[in-house]
Chain A
Amino acid sequence: MNRKKLQKLTDALTKNCKHFNKFEVNCLIKLFYNLVGEAVERPGVAVGLDRNAFRNILHMTFGMTDDMIMDRVFRGFDKDNDGTISVTEWVHGLSLFLRGSLEEKMKYCFEVFDLNGDGFISKEEMFHMLKNSLLKQPSEEDPDEGIKDLVEITLKKMDHDHDGKLSFTDYEKAVREEALLLEAFGPCLPDPKSQMEFEAQVFKDPNDLHENVNS
């Protein structure tokens, strides 16, 4: 990609992105193309990270492990639902990932947890997301009993209108009371440690960057 194009893309994205400065956008774009690889740059074909590549990044860089959640995160990034993450989606997604406000993050997380997108996190969805969260005790008759119980506990804690499912209002209220519940049903945001490492690595000193660019 030539410098001019990069410059233009950077400018465009910086304008639309409130959490990153120009330099950071630049770094992210460069990283994106590094990850995608030069070869893919063909006109007509959408350039981007496919599901597997993205999951790989989530796993390697941000330490996520839960396949289902990672799928959901992919969907969260892939705004246009075309199966790949474009450079725009990449920068926007990371903006939320790294710098998002609580409101943005709540909205994003709720969407991640609302598996069927009906605007509620139902008991079934919770069960689905929590089913691997407890160590199976061989002694228990019903291996799912603990999970069901956990779902009940969660509902008791978060379902303020007692309708048996979580609306966004329920969820928002619970999170505002207790920030720990933001990622209640599984980690879908980078943990602070990997986030710091990522930022340290990507947003390197501008001087280093210049060297790279010049070389």
Chain B
Amino acid sequence: MGVALTRLAQWTAAGYGTGTLEITPLNEILLKEIIIFVEHFIYDHPQEAKFVFVEPLEWKTDLEPSAFESGYIVSKTTVNSEEIDKNGQPLLFLSVPQIKVRSFKQLSQLVFIAKDTKLKEAQACIEANRDPVVKILGSDYSTVTEDSSTSSILHEITNGDDPENETKMKIAILLKQLDLHLLSYTLRHISLQIRLNPEPVKKDIELLKSFSGKGEWTVLESIDYTSDYEFSNGCRAPPWRQIHGEMCYVLVKPHDVETLCLTCSTEGVFLNGGKADDEGKIDYERKGEVYKDLVTLLKDKSAVFSENMSKQETRFNEEQQKNQTEDVPKKEETYAVHKTISGSDKSKLRKNQINFGKNQMARRLEPSLNWRTTVDFKDRKAPVKDSQEEKHGGKPEKTRTSISPGRAQLHRKSVDKVEEIISESSSESEEDEELPDHRQEANTDLPSEYWQIQKLVKYLKGGNQTATVIVLCSMRDFNLAQETCQLAIRDVGGLEVLINLLDTDEVKCKIGSLKILKEISHNPQIQRNIVDLGGLPIMVNILDSPYKSLKCLAAETIANVAKFKRARQVVRQYGGITKLVSLLDCAQNSIEPAQSSLYETRDVEVARCGALALWSCSKSYSNKEAIRKAGGIPLLARLLKTSHEDMLIPVVGTLQECASEENYRAAIKAERIIENLVKNLNSENEQLQEHCAMAIYQCAEDEETRDLVRLHGGLKPLATLLNNTDNKELLAAVTGAIWKCSISKENVIKFREYKAIETLVGLLTDQPEEVLVNVVGALGECCQDHENRVIVRKCGGIQPLVNLLVGINQALLVNVTKAVGACAVEPESMVIIDRLDGVRLLWSLLKNPHPDVKASAAWALCPCIQNAKDAGEMVRSFVGGLELVVNLLKSDNKEVLSSVCAAITNIAKDQENLAVITDHGVVPLLSKLANTNNDKLRRHLAEAISRCCMWGRNRVAFGEHKAVAPLVRYLKSSDTNVHRATAQALYQLSEDPDNCITMHENAAVKLLLDMVGSPDQELQEAAAGCISNIRRLALATEKAKYN
């Protein structure tokens, strides 16, 4: 009983003494079983029922004394049983509300008396007596020392003939049986109901994730783990929590309720105490009922979730069904385990429990892999799993999309692809960390192709040229796009032979071999195998071959293999880049061959294959350099003039990859490539358009390039392409290009002409993040313009922008804050932002861990404070907001500091707020920053200081904190803005005589005199005011001297 109670019963609080048993189905079952045991005790074991407990079981009862009848001496507030022990003490004693019971007989009777409330009584009894066994039998039988208890019992048996001991023994055994019974009973109960393990939980979460996001059709806004780290057992909870069966914690944001912090444990899913904001600690305490799984819980908590779930039902059901089919064997197993439990001792039981978990895992592994491919697009290793799927199901990839045609899927897929492109283009990508190797295990359902291919490879090894050619041709009849065949070729040693053939003089064999390698090298594993077998250097050599078709094939195969870093490196090391670049040159001296032959092909084709290979290679930084050094850019520029899409895509693709480098952007400008990129934006081919837009996006960081795009008429096609919202990759690239182009004012004017602003506003909702980042970025740039701000407001763009402030994507947040800030310049827009609580959202972004977001949010706050009605009151309404801002002055990021100084300047316009930030120590913090060479920071810092001087003795305090001398030095800066701000600050500071002295000592007068001559009026005034203050002090001193 002890074990069952301590282990299985669901106590509300960990730790003894204070706990109360909750009314959960599980506990109810436990209690019922205990009651049945007690009720039957008197009949089953009349002898033992008389045994007097070592200590009474004592608890508060709700029973009235009047309920007791015969066999009891009843008074108004007390009840004594007639039965007494050796010392004349009653075995049952009730003194309202305390009750003491000292034998099973009395317990049985009590249960009988209690009738309807027996459950409650039992609960109260168990609650009050956490270790009933000890009380009944004495501390020897404590369940805490359960391992030794058996031996100590045995010990007593051998030693004592005491009849009392014998009864004790019997009771002990009986209790132990009860304990086991309870354990197995509850286990059965639990396993019937729920028994989660990390795998299904993970799947549930991932499935839900794929249906989450913005938009009405999603089931949730977001669902995320609290921890990114996953232990090898699939759990994410820290080990000390895993002991409690907890697997992971999830933050779920449904559409209609606050964020829920959930614990997924083996017993089910429940709400926990939530995540503390500052330290990221989770309050593990259970706060609500235990649900059998995530979906059930969420359905209960969120109406929108359950509604949208039913919409998604068809699809979800499909997934769930698969889940369920997996569950069936699990249940069977649980039953199997039960059989072994009965009659076994505890250690064995526990062992079984462990095995039971493992079996489950093992069983799940196989099907789950298949299953996950349909959901898990995020996974980089997806191709491998696809292949797994194919291996098992023998179905081509098409099935995958047909299973899940949901809009969400398409969405995610495209997003991930874009993400990959973006991330890869910048530098060496990380994708290549070695893939797990899937060797086909011998004799496990090998498809017939496997044996056929094995035979062919045998002939390949032992055949002369004629046989080899026949075999190679025959091999091509297999579906080489299918992973089964790809891996079969490798697993029977075919790759080695194919690569060896490349090293022979037999051109026909080389061609045949490359034709196969070209196909199978689409497989990431094969790519790695080819590199490991040293295939790349040979192929690079073939690029020198006099036979053009051979060159083409080699280049195409290289294009496939060079999908990962190590391969690209090998290509470069063996001089492949130079050779590939020279392939591009082929198209130049093109005398088309009179007739097609096996060995000849068109020069354009050679150039195309070269470009294809360079495209793959250009994903590595060093290769980009190598291509440039080999003179690739002019050649690419020349090829760009053709009109063949086949050619243009790899060429533009390469340029787009390379445009991440400064050198390239300059060269692209110099080679007049922009013109052709713009031209191809008008192409019919979406892929080509996408790459062109992407290349423009990369290049348009440069102002001149932005102008070129405009001059060549590229803005109109970009604006037009915005309407193609189905192709998300294209949309991301186009919006990116628009964003960068709109940094130039002239371009913004054009975009307005083309009604692009309106379209962009329309794209603020229902788009993947990659698109959103760019759209918002573009709007942020456009809104620097008054007219556009009006357009954005009129199109209802402010609401979606403010809504985006709650996101988590850093790039997006930086852009959104900038855009909102830009809109806030317009008082009318500001009203809307304020109404939508946008300022509060901006303010809370100051807590974002990423400095760029912080800075951007702080910048955005400036116009908000400037333009908000009753700004001072608004700022004060943010509890802790001012302290937060002041503390940001401790940052070491210059941009954050500048922006926060600017924000403080605005905040300090309100006297009351200025008083508050003074209390928070703004003066010493600002003073500390004074020694800086950053002109931007200097300007905003000086402005903030001049504002903060307006309160109390802050002027003096700045002097005390030695801010004055560094400020004087600012006057030597070359930036007029710095001069103006500094002169104003000095003017304010000069109201304090000590500061005047410091200024004078630091030769401020001479510098200020120069400033008086500045054309800037404000600067003039401030400088003059400062000088007059200094002068006045000097006069006063002189006067004092003479008096």
Contacts and interface: CB of A to CB of B under 8 A. Distances in A.
B459 A130 contact: no
A135 interface: yes
B474 A102 contact: no
A157 B466 contact: no
Nearest to B467: A133
Interface string B454-479: 01100101111111011111101100
Contacts of B806: none
Contacts of B472: 180
B511 A180 contact: yes
A182 B469 CA distance: 10
B507 A157 contact: no
A101 B473 CA distance: 22
A154 B456 CA distance: 12
Contact of B462 (A102, A134, A187): A134
A190 to B, nearest CB: 12
10 contacts: A102-B595, A102-B597, A133-B463, A134-B459, A149-B455, A150-B459, A153-B474, A180-B508, A182-B598, A184-B466
Interface string B998-1012: 000000000000000
A146 interface: yes
Interface residues of A, number: 30
Interface string A175-204: 000111111111100011100100000000
Interface in B199-252: none
B345 interface: no
Interface of A: 101-102, 129-130, 132-135, 137, 146, 149-150, 153-154, 156-157, 178-187, 191-193, 196
Given A135-B463, A193-B505, A181 B455 contact: no
5 tightest CB-CB pairs across the interface, nearest first? A135-B462, A133-B467, A179-B598, A133-B464, A133-B466
Contacts of B974: none
A201 to B, nearest CB: 17
Nearest to B598: A179
Interface in B486-516: 505, 507-508, 511-512
Contacts of A180: 469, 472-473, 508, 511-512, 598
Nearest to B511: A180
Given A135-B462, A180-B469, A185-B466, A156 B474 contact: yes
B477 to A, nearest CB: 7
Contacts of A133: 463-464, 466-467
B470 A154 contact: yes
B596 interface: yes
A185 B469 CA distance: 9
A181 B596 CA distance: 15
A180 B473 CA distance: 8
B179 to A, nearest CB: 68
Contact of B466 (A156, A186, A191): A186
B356 interface: no
B878 interface: no
A171 to B, nearest CB: 13
A135 B547 CA distance: 29
**Size range of the interface on B?**
20 to 34
B599 interface: yes
B507 A134 contact: no
A193 B507 contact: yes
A203 B592 CA distance: 22
Nearest to A181: B473
B463 A157 contact: no
A27 to B, nearest CB: 20
A178 B512 CA distance: 10
Nearest to B464: A133
Interface string B877-901: 0000000000000000000000000
Contacts of A157: 470, 473-474, 477
A150 B458 CA distance: 11
B469 A181 contact: yes
Contacts of A193: 505, 507
Interface in B658-678: none
A11 B913 CA distance: 109
A153 B595 contact: no
B462 to A, nearest CB: 4
B251 to A, nearest CB: 58
Given A157-B477, A178-B476, A191-B507, A102 B459 contact: no
B518 to A, nearest CB: 14
A212 to B, nearest CB: 28
Contacts of A187: 465-466
A179 B463 CA distance: 19
Interface string B439-465: 000000000000000011001011111
Nearest to A191: B507
Contact of B471 (A153, A183, A192): A153
Contact of B459 (A101, A132, A149, A192): A149
A53 to B, nearest CB: 25
Contacts of B512: 180
Contacts of B466: 129-130, 133, 183-187
Given A180-B512, A193-B505, A150 B462 contact: no
Contact of A192 (B464, B473, B547): B547
A129 B472 CA distance: 18
Contacts of A183: 466, 469, 508
Nearest to B468: A133
A137 B462 contact: yes
A193 B597 CA distance: 14
Nearest to A105: B597
A139 B596 CA distance: 44
Nearest to B461: A135
A126 to B, nearest CB: 10
Given A146-B459, A192-B599, A132 B474 contact: no
Most chain-B Cβ atoms within 10 A of its Cβ — which of A134, A154, A156, A193?
A: A134
B473 A134 contact: no
B469 A132 contact: no
Contacts of B465: 187
Nearest to B472: A180
A132 B466 CA distance: 10
Contacts of B477: 156-157
A183 B455 CA distance: 22
Nearest to A66: B466
Contacts of A191: 507
A149 B472 CA distance: 14
Contacts of B464: 132-134
Nearest to A189: B598
Contact of A102 (B470, B505, B508, B596): B596
Contacts of A178: 473, 476
A150 B470 contact: yes
A212 B597 CA distance: 34
A50 B600 CA distance: 34
Nearest to B465: A187
Kindly name the residue among A102, A133, A182, A185 whose own CB sees the greatest number of chain B CB atoms within 10 A. Answer: A133
A196 B461 CA distance: 29
A134 B463 contact: yes
Nearest to B455: A149
Contacts of A137: 462
A130 to B, nearest CB: 7
A182 B477 CA distance: 17
A101 to B, nearest CB: 6
B129 to A, nearest CB: 81
Interface in B971-1010: none
Given A134-B462, A135-B462, A154-B474, 17 more contacts: A101-B595, A129-B466, A130-B466, A130-B467, A133-B466, A134-B459, A134-B464, A137-B462, A150-B459, A153-B471, A156-B477, A179-B597, A179-B598, A180-B511, A181-B470, A192-B599, A193-B507
